[in-house]
Amino acid sequence: MATRKKRKSKHASAQPSGALGNVIETGQHIWLAGLGAVARAQREGPKLFEALVMEGSEFQDSTRENVQERSADLLNELRSKLDARTAGMRGKAAETMGNLEEILQARVLKALQQLGVPTSHEIEALSRKVNELNRSVQALTQTRSGNASGRKRAGAAAATAQQGAAV
């Protein structure tokens, strides 16, 4: 290959001075810093990559633990709130059911009264009166049968006496 010889101009050989010189020098420093970063990345890249993987793994593990703990705390908090609300709703439902039952019983009782169906208290009172009447009837029956037995005995004794006098 043929190499070319560079021609030197008047401006190329002279060092720029002033503000333009500072800009060029800063640009060169930036370029060299970039090259240094590339060289270091090539040299230390695999080590840095492994270190970053290790740190990332540790961070992921600690974050996972924190998330699991927080999730468990939130779940427990949610359960307790849900249990409290459920208990409140159950209480209200029981109260409502009690009120509904009372209303239904009152309406059924009113309907039965309008139809003339006796209440359980009225039936119990009638049962007591029937039992009292049964006892009274039994007592009367026993006293009458006792009087009739006494009359039969007296009549049988008189008949026996009459037969004995006739003989």
Under 8 Å CB-to-CB from 119, ≥6 apart: which residues? 109, 112, 113
Q: How confident is the model at residue 11 (pLDDT cuts 50, 70, 90)?
A: very low
- 10 Å CB burial of residue 70 (0-12, 13-18, 19+) is exposed
Residue 103 has pLDDT above 90, yes or no: yes
What pLDDT does 29 receive? 93
Question: Which percentage of the chain shows pLDDT scores above 90?
Answer: 43
Give the pLDDT of residue 13: 46
- Record the pTM: 0.35
- 40-81 pLDDT, tens per residue? 888 887 887 888 889 999 989 989 999 999 999 999 999 999
Q: Give the side-chain half-sphere CA count within 13 A for 9.
A: 2
Domain ranges in the chain? 20-117, 119-162
Report, as an integer, the average pLDDT of 98-114: 90
Distance separating alpha carbons of residues 63 and 43, to the nearest angstrom: 31
